[in-house]
């Protein structure tokens, strides 16, 4: 998969656009800036947006090509982000360090997804926010983006146990019209989560 992502991010332009995810931007607008963790951040569109609002951003991905694009975008927008190359399967997050985590299209196979999300959520400080938008299982077969594998897609009920220590402010499976570069374009079925840690 690393070769796939390096190839995609090495293509001209931005695979998923250079503007932030709409849901992420909407939720971030109502939160005071602090420390932000963005795993699987790709080409940096959400990290750069958060930094422009005053967030201290740590972005993670294992694609060198994605990191290079992200750092160029940050420079062009005159903001500063930290971006570490890391394999999320083995990366150990610091506990209770971040005021928000953005999980924007962070897709992993079902057998490892639960444990990986649980580990990442441990990095949230009390009072910290989770902002998530991922493709749900109804996205299978649609051409508007996302993995074409059922086990990589999500559904609301599987996150209930992960969010036991949270106030779930919003969790819904819904349709949205994506205009996020050439690989996220058209009507899509997504799961959105906005929650605050106790």
Chain centroid to Cα 120, Å, comes to 12
Domain count for the chain: 1
Nearest to 44 by CA among 14, 24, 22: 14
94 by Cβ neighbours in 10 Å (0-12 / 13-18 / 19+) ranks as exposed
Give the CATH number of the domain where residue 124 resides. 3.40.50.150
DSSP count for the chain of H helices, then E strands = 5, 7
Expressed in angstroms, the distance from the first to the final Cα of the chain is 35
Least confident of 29-43, 69-83, 152-166: 152-166
Beta strands in the chain (DSSP E): 35-38, 56-61, 82-85, 98-104, 124-135, 166-180, 184-197
What one-character DSSP code corresponds to residue 136? Answer: B
The pLDDT confidence band at residue 126, using thresholds 50, 70 and 90, is: very high
Record the tokens describing residue 83, joined without a space.
């971006």
Residue 36: CB atoms within 10 Å: 26
* 53-109 pLDDT tens trace: 999 999 999 999 999 999 999 999 999 999 999 999 999 999 999 999 999 999 999
Cα angle 145, 80, 99; round to 5: 70
CB 42 within 8 A of CB 67: no
Q: What's the domain range around 143?
A: 2-197
CA neighbor of 109 nearest in space, from 158, 65, 64: 158
Q: What is the pTM of this model?
A: 0.97
pLDDT at residue 181, rounded to an integer:
97
Q: Under 8 Å CB-to-CB from 102, ≥6 apart: which residues?
A: 24, 28, 36, 37, 38, 46, 50, 131, 132
């Amino acid at each position: 998969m690393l070769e796939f992502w390096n190839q995609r991010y090495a293509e001209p332009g931005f695979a998923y656009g250079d503007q932030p995810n709409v849901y992420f931007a909407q939720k971030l607008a109502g939160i005071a800036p602090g420390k932000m963790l963005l795993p699987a951040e790709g080409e940096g569109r959400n990290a750069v947006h958060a930094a422009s609002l005053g967030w201290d951003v740590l972005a993670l991905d294992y694609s060198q090509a994605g990191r290079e694009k992200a750092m160029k975008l940050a420079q062009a927008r005159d903001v500063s982000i930290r971006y570490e190359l890391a394999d999320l399967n083995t990366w150990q997050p610091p506990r209770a360090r971040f005021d928000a985590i953005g999980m924007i299209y962070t897709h992993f196979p079902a057998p490892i997804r639960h444990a990986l999300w649980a580990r990442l959520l441990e990095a949230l400080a009390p009072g910290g926010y989770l902002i998530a938008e991922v493709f749900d299982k109804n996205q299978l077969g649609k051409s508007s983006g996302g993995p074409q594998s059922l086990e990589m897609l999500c559904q609301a009920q599987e996150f209930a146990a992960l969010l036991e220590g949270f106030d779930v402010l919003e969790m819904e499976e819904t349709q949205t019209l994506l205009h996020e570069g050439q690989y996220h374009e058209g009507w899509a079925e997504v799961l959105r989560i906005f929650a605050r840690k106790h």
